[in-house]
Amino acid sequence: MKILDKKLKGNKLILYLGLLISLIGIYYSIYHFSFNQSLRRLPTTIWICLWLLPFILLPYFLNFILYKVYKDLRFGIIAVIILAIIVFSYIENSRVQYRYIMKGGVVVPSQIEDKRDEMRVPPTIYYKYFVDGETHKGSRPCDKSIYEECNIGDTILIIYSKSMHAFSIPHKYFPTKEEIKECKKGVFYIGGKRVDSLP
C-alpha cells in the first residue's frame, strides 16, 4: 500500500484521472445509479458498496493532490468538500425522485411500519406498500402534529413512480375508508392531477 501511495504522489496524471473518475462516479450515483432497476435488484450490501465507491475514492485522490499545497489543512478541506457533496446528493436525489413521481404516479394504500422522533432527525414515518406482488418500503419526515396523530399500523395513501416503484412519497396521511377502498387498485396522477390512465 505504501509503495502504491508513493507512486501516486509522483504521478499527477493518475491522480487527476482518478479524481475525474471519482467525480463522474458521484454524478452517476446521484443521477443514474439509484434509478437503474437492474442495479437495484442486487443484494442491498453490494448495491450500497457500489453506490458509495466513488465517494470513498474521491477523498483518497484529493488527499494526494492537496498534500503539497495544503499539507496541514487538507483533511479539513476534504471533510468540507465531502460534506457539501453528501448534502447536495441528498437534496438532488430527492428532487429527481419527485420528478419521476410527477411524470406518472400511482396512489395506493400503505401501512405505517414504524415512526421515530430522534434528536438528530425530524419526526419520520416509515411505511410499506405492495406493487405487482413486491414489497417496497419508504420513509418521509413530517410535521410534529401529523407524527403525533399517526400510529403504527395505520393506513395512509402514498404515491409511487410508475417507472420506478421504489420511489414514493405520502399522498394523504388521514384518508377516509372510501378513499382507501378507491385506491386499492391504484389511482393515477400526472403532475399532481388525477388522470384515467398513465402512458
Residue 168's identity, in one-letter code, is: S
pLDDT of residue 4: 43
Helix (H, G, I), strand (E, B) or coil at 49: helix
Sign of CA dihedral 11, 13, 18, 23: positive
pLDDT of residue 32: 63
Cell representation of residue 88: 447536495
Q: What is the pLDDT of residues 2-56, one digit of tens each?
A: 444 454 545 666 667 777 777 777 777 766 665 555 565 667 677 677 777 887 7
Beta bridge partners of 179: none
Q: Report all structural domains of the chain as residue ranges with CATH numbers, in order of start.
A: 2-101 (no CATH), 104-195 (2.40.50)
CB 26 within 8 A of CB 84: no
Residue 119 burial (C-beta neighbours within 10 Å; 0-12, 13-18, 19+): exposed
C-alpha span between 53 and 68 (Å, rounded)? 25
- Which residues does 117 contact at the CB level (< 8 Å), separation at least 6? 123, 124, 144, 147
Half-sphere exposure of 72 (CA within 13 A, CB side): 0
Q: Which of 94, 90, 140 is nearest to 115 (CA)?
A: 140
Residue 90 burial (C-beta neighbours within 10 Å; 0-12, 13-18, 19+): exposed
pLDDT of residue 42: 64
- Which residues does 194 contact at the CB level (< 8 Å), separation at least 6? 187, 188
pLDDT of residue 68: 67
183: left (phi over 0), alpha (psi -120 to 50) or beta: alpha
pLDDT of residue 11: 64
Q: Which stretches of the chain score pLDDT less than 50?
A: 1-5, 7, 9
pTM (2 d.p.): 0.68
